[in-house]
Amino acid sequence: MKKRRLGNSNLEVSAIGLGCMSMTGAYGSVVDKQDMISLLRTAVERGVTFFDTAQVYGPFANEELVGEALAPFRGQVIIATKFGFKFEEDGGAPRSVGLNSRPEYIKQGLERSLKRLRVDAIDLFYQHRVDPQVPIEDVAGAMQELIQEGKVKHFGMSEAAADTIRRAHAVQPVTAVQSEYSLWWHRPEAEVLPMLEELGIGFVPYSPLGKGFLTGTINVDTTFASTDLRSRIPRFTAEARKSNQALVNLLSAIAERKQVTTAQIALAWLLAQRPWIVPIPGTTKLSRVEENIGAAEIDLSTDELHEIDAAAAKISILGDRYPEELERMTYK
């Protein structure tokens, strides 16, 4: 697989990464742990070197899965994880109860992430959401200390506003920013992407396939289990899906012409936006991993990119991308 460097850093990863959140049931699917371990290991064999997890996925179960699956590949892969949520366990299953990016809490969480991931250092440690109660300079300072101690290699931020990223970067250089970005969510283009280009920071789009919608496999008749996070997302109501199908139809027409898949066009479009963008589509199926990897070999011409952008600009996407309580945590 082709490689990409995240900004001006020395962190080089596969052009397509793998988001692991769904491998512990986030989309309501029943997943077998051994199947997911096999999937992760096969992804490495296919050339994927960049894997994304987080403390809050599960919570903790996703880090444990990734740690076990990738243990045989130490030194060959880059594992990114995230801090910033507060957890309560109360003797039962752990659950997130808001945000906490106090330096001492970050450091406690880091030690546990190291054990779950079975590593001596975190390759890329993102602040999952900006904590309004903790100055970002304090968070960046804690990252600086952990990097100096050799427990973290690179500092990242997720869903942060441009000014907050800039302030953090002034204290401890930020290697990568992760935020949602795709043909149906363009917000990073306004302020974040220009600022990342200026500062030499890499960008990692999550949900690059619109949580599955841009693959063309979801339509107005699709039903979502109550455990599937999309059942709570306004953009996935039946009315919104019916309206938003126009974007999928556009991608499908171009995909048919190029004899590739709709998902591959959506990923190829992202890769064409900047050379330091590395999308992390998630899946629980090997066939989708292979399909996504194939997107790295697709070159969209300038004319094709103009065609996609012009047509997409005429389509109004219906529905918010998150429930209100989750959206309030973003772009702080």
Residues annotated as catalytic are 57
Q: Which of 279, 197, 223 is nearest to 15 (CA)?
A: 279
One-letter amino acid for residue 135 of the chain: P
* Whole-number Å distance between alpha carbons of 104 and 27: 32
Tell me which residue of 132, 187, 181 sits closest to 162, measured CA to CA: 187
φ, ψ at 206 (rounded to 5°): -95, 165
- Report which secondary-structure segment, H or E, holds 306: helix 302-313
CA distance 81 to 56: 10
Q: Would you call 78 helix, strand, or coil by DSSP?
A: strand
| CA–CA dist 234, 240 (Å, integer) | 7
The first and second tokens of residue 65, run together, are 């899965």
To the nearest 10°, report the CA torsion of 138, 139, 143, 144.
Answer: -30
CA–CA separation, 179 vs 194, rounded Å?
A: 14
Judge contact between 209 and 283, C-beta under 8 A: no
C-alpha to C-alpha distance for 89 and 135, rounded to whole angstroms: 27
